[in-house]
């Protein structure tokens, strides 16, 4: 997503060749953020209530991307493994599943963050909500929505090249984009597939997960796609 928005913002299909870690507001001081040239491309995993309120009141253009919680769970396990020096987690999927479902999280559980974001930003014309699954399945159509939101328009050739440049296979070949690989040697850019959770969740785990998550997901106005 970082690569996609950067290219749409600058009208290029050439990579920025920079990892996205430098764009996270929670990892930067105010002086560092203010020194970035405008318009700034910033990222965050913060909960809605932890965000600076100015971003919602001063007309900032924002994209809110959400992904189905089962694929998020699998992805985060590999994130923890890539940064094991920081997380010190040496368990496998079974141990991780119990912790993911009930234990403490760096940014809170999916159900503690995503539904709250979606509810509180509903109707805000400055915030475009998209799903990771839509970006994967309908890349060009979704990219057009993203570019329109920031007042940009491009031809079909541009969007086709954008789809190629921002594919997982292409990005995996560019080590400069993978901040985990740069730091630990273990890649953070992995599969990016929709539905990969099926290769990890047991039947019992899936039922346990659904018991907790389904009542909340069923109330959302946005569609959550698991495959």
Task: Tell me if 150 sits within 8 A of 61, measured CB to CB.
Answer: yes
What is the Cα Rg of the chain in Å? 18
Considering its fold, how many domains does the chain have in total?
Answer: 1
Assess if residue 227 is contained within a domain: no
Active-site hit among 10, 45, 105, 149: 45
Instruction: Calculate helix-pair angle for 156-165, 2-10, nearest 10 degrees.
Output: 150
Q: How far apart are CA 214 and CA 225, in angstroms?
A: 12
C-beta atoms surrounding 16 within 10 Å: 17
Task: Name residues whose C-beta falls within 8 Å of residue 129's C-beta, 6 or more positions apart in sequence.
Answer: 63, 64, 65, 66, 118, 121, 222
Assess if residue 59 is contained within a domain: yes
pLDDT in tens, the chain (227 residues): 888 998 999 999 988 777 777 788 898 888 998 898 888 899 999 999 999 898 998 889 999 999 999 999 999 998 888 878 778 888 899 999 998 998 777 888 999 999 999 999 999 999 999 999 999 999 999 999 999 999 999 999 999 999 999 888 887 777 666 666 667 777 666 788 899 999 999 999 999 999 999 999 999 999 999 99
CATH number at residue 129: 3.40.50.300
Assess if residue 32 is contained within a domain: yes
Assess if residue 78 is contained within a domain: yes
Round to the nearest angstrom and report the end-to-end CA distance of the chain.
Answer: 19
Assess if residue 225 is contained within a domain: no
Catalytic annotation on 45? yes
Assess if residue 10 is contained within a domain: yes
Assess if residue 222 is contained within a domain: no
Assess if residue 226 is contained within a domain: no
Q: How far apart are CA 172 and CA 129, in angstroms?
A: 26
Q: Range of 189's domain? A: 2-217
């Amino acid at each position: 997503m970082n690569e996609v928005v950067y290219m749409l913002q600058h009208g290029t299909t050439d990579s920025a060749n920079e990892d996205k870690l430098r764009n996270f507001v929670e990892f930067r001081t105010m002086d560092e953020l203010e020194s970035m040239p405008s318009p700034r491309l910033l990222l965050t995993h913060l909960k809605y209530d932890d965000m600076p309120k100015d971003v919602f009141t001063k007309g900032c253009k924002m994209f809110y991307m959400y992904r189905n919680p089962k694929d998020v769970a699998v992805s985060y396990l590999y994130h923890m493994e890539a940064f094991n020096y920081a997380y010190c987690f040496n368990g496998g999927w079974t141990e991780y599943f119990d912790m993911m479902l009930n234990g403490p999280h760096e940014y809170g559980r999916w159900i503690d963050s995503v539904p709250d974001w979606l509810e509180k930003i509903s109707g805000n014309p400055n915030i475009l909500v998209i799903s990771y699954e839509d970006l994967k399945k309908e890349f060009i159509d979704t990219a057009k929505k993203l570019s329109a939101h920031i007042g940009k328009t491009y031809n079909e050739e541009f969007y086709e090249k954008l789809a190629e440049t921002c594919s997982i296979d292409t990005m995996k070949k560019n080590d400069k984009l993978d901040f985990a690989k740069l730091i630990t040697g273990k890649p953070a850019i992995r599969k990016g597939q929709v539905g990969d959770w099926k290769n990890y969740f047991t039947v019992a785990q899936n039922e346990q997960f659904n018991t907790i998550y389904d009542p909340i997901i069923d109330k959302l106005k946005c569609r959550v796609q698991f495959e």
